[in-house]
């Protein structure tokens, strides 16, 4: 079951992560100005956010397994359609369609782990599942960057579409529906909006959603133009970018499961706060201290360690804020609003990079990251009542 979720996350995450390293390839092949490249990330994030909000209440009603199957199938089809993206408009369109499929998967995947695993093991499980994102850096990104340089930027997406086809088969065979309570409310737009409003009026939930906004915005501000800056101003070549993400991915894979397991023992907040502070400082110092190839590798590797320390504890903490029958709605809400942050961060990154240089990107990203640390520390409680945790039995 974990292997099926892992391959699904690897395929879905890799097709997102690969966009940043191959932006220079896209710009050259389609003749797109650098200032417009951020919109490829923005449209994906916007569509993901919208459809995550739609899917959240549905997954609470019909069960997470069904949504995972539909989302995996939709993602595989949209990724294969990238082969026909011969214009900037066509590429924007297929990225938007992929965002719709991503909206089906994002909240449901994290919610499934919350449904299946008790809280005291959820950090460990999230750590392993989210290590697929890091594996995308180790294998997916170097492979995608290599294929994009050898053939075209379109073909890495096709490759990830094929791995997603395999994920569909594995989810169908090995991922059961957890035996947890389902939402019995009638599915209507008005009721969904009302329920989302109720969630947001909870101070804990509003703090969590704001933290998601800041987390995704900082990633958009920092990572989208990092490869472009390293190529243009530090002199890294295509193979250097591949090695950069390879090393960073190894650090992430090595740290993620251990951080998740450690958070099961000592609590989520200490790891989340310390990693946010560490990552914020790395972001702030990037343009001041990175002057060559090896320093770029060191900074990126450390940033990946900090990201790995944060993600699985943060997701595990969020899943415990509501009972199972509201978990899909909560995760979809936080992820959807977080994607707004990603879209805004990526859009601002393009304007800031073009007009003020990459240092402005790093400063904005650092401020967002430190603000997230403050919100988690002061406004998000460490859950103490985990009696609603689900038993891992298929329904």
Q: Which two tokens stand for residue 359?
A: 């240092």
Q: Which two tokens stand for residue 121?
A: 């093991």
Is 284 within a domain?
yes
Q: Measure CA 62 to chain center.
A: 24
CA distance 249 to 241: 12
CA distance 305 to 256: 8
Establish how many alpha carbons lie within 13 A of residue 339's alpha carbon, considering only the half-sphere containing its beta carbon.
Answer: 26
| pLDDT given at position 163 | 93
Helices 293-319, 324-356: crossing angle, 10 deg rounding: 150
| pLDDT given at position 64 | 85
Helices (H) and strands (E) in the chain — how many of each? 16, 0
Other C-beta atoms within 10 Å of 186: how many?
8
- Specify whether the CB–CB gap between 61 and 192 falls below 8 A: no
Is 389 within a domain?
no
Looking at the DSSP assignment, which residues form a beta bridge with residue 394? 178
Which among 114, 375, 372, 122 has a CA at the least distance from the CA of 265?
A: 122
| pLDDT given at position 184 | 67
Is 75 within a domain?
yes
DSSP H or E stretch at residue 173: helix 154-174
Looking at the DSSP assignment, which residues form a beta bridge with residue 192? none
- Specify whether the CB–CB gap between 129 and 1 falls below 8 A: no
CA distance 161 to 237: 27
Q: Which two tokens stand for residue 72?
A: 């995996």
Task: Classify each residue of 87-122 as buried b or exposed e, where b means 16 or more C-beta atoms within 10 Å of its C-beta.
Answer: ebeebbbbbbbbbbbbbbbbbbbbbbbbbbbebebb
pTM of the model: 0.71
Phi, psi angle pair for 178, to nearest 5°: -60, 150
Is 362 within a domain?
yes
pLDDT averages per 10-residue partition of the chain, 395 residues = 89 84 84 78 83 83 87 94 90 92 83 81 79 72 78 90 94 85 70 82 89 87 86 84 80 81 86 93 93 89 87 84 81 77 80 90 94 93 56 37
- Specify whether the CB–CB gap between 333 and 212 falls below 8 A: no
| pLDDT given at position 181 | 66
Range of the domain at 9: 2-177+200-379
Contacts of 266 (CB under 8 A, 6+ apart): none
| pLDDT given at position 392 | 37
Q: Which two tokens stand for residue 379?
A: 């406004």
Q: Which two tokens stand for residue 378?
A: 């002061």
Alpha-carbon distance values, 90 to 70, 139, 154, 287 (Å):
23, 27, 11, 34
CA distance 235 to 36: 22
CATH number at residue 112: 1.20.1250.20
Which among 135, 47, 147, 122 has a CA at the least distance from the CA of 92?
A: 47
CA distance 127 to 347: 30
Looking up tokens 């951080």 gives: 259
Domain count, the chain: 1
- Burial label, 231 (beta-carbon count in 10 A; 0-12, 13-18, 19+): middle
Is 339 within a domain?
yes
- Greatest CA separation for the chain: 58
Identify the three-state secondary structure at position 394. strand
Is 385 within a domain?
no
Is 169 within a domain?
yes
- Specify whether the CB–CB gap between 5 and 125 falls below 8 A: no
Is 393 within a domain?
no
Which among 25, 62, 292, 36 has a CA at the least distance from the CA of 152?
A: 25
Alpha-carbon distance values, 7 to 13, 135, 167, 281 (Å):
10, 10, 6, 32
DSSP 8-state symbol, 279: H
DSSP 8-state symbol, 322: S
């Amino acid at each position: 079951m974990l292997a099926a979720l892992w391959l699904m996350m690897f395929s879905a995450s890799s097709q997102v992560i690969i966009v940043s390293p191959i932006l220079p390839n896209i710009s050259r092949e389609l003749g797109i100005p650098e200032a417009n490249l951020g919109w490829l990330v923005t449209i994906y994030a916007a569509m993901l956010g919208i459809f995550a909000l739609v899917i959240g209440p549905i997954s609470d009603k019909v069960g997470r397994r069904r949504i995972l199957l539909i989302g995996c199938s939709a993602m595989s089809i949209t990724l294969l359609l990238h082969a026909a993206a011969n214009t900037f408009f066509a590429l924007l369109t297929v990225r938007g369609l992929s965002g719709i499929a991503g909206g089906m998967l994002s909240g449901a995947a994290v919610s499934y782990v919350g449904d299946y695993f008790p809280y005291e093991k959820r950090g460990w499980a999230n750590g392993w599942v989210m290590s697929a994102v890091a594996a995308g850096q180790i294998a997916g990104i170097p492979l995608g960057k290599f294929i994009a340089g050898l053939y075209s930027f379109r073909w890495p997406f096709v490759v990830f579409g094929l791995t997603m086809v395999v994920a569909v088969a594995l989810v169908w065979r090995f991922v059961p529906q957890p035996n947890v309570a389902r939402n019995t409310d009638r599915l209507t737009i008005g009721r969904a909006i009302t329920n989302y409003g109720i969630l947001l009026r909870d101070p804990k939930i509003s703090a969590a959603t704001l933290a998601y906004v800041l987390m995704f915005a900082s990633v958009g501000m920092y990572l989208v133009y990092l490869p472009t800056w390293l190529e243009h101003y530090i002199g890294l070549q295509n193979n250097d970018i591949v090695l950069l993400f390879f090393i960073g991915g190894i650090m992430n894979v090595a740290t993620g499961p251990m951080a998740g397991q450690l958070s099961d023992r000592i609590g989520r907040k200490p790891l989340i706060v310390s990693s946010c502070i560490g990552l914020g400082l790395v972001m702030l110092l990037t343009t001041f201290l990175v002057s060559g190839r090896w320093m770029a590798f060191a900074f990126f590797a450390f940033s990946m360690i900090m990201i790995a320390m944060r993600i699985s504890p943060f997701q595990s903490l969020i899943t415990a804020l509501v009972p199972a029958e509201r978990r899909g709605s909560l995760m979809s809400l936080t992820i959807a609003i977080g994607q707004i942050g990603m879209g805004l961060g990526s859009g601002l990154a393009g304007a800031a990079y073009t007009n003020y240089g990459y240092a402005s990107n790093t400063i904005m990203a650092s401020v967002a990251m430190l603000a997230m640390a403050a919100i988690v520390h002061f406004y998000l409680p460490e859950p103490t009542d985990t009696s609603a945790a689900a038993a891992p039995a298929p329904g």
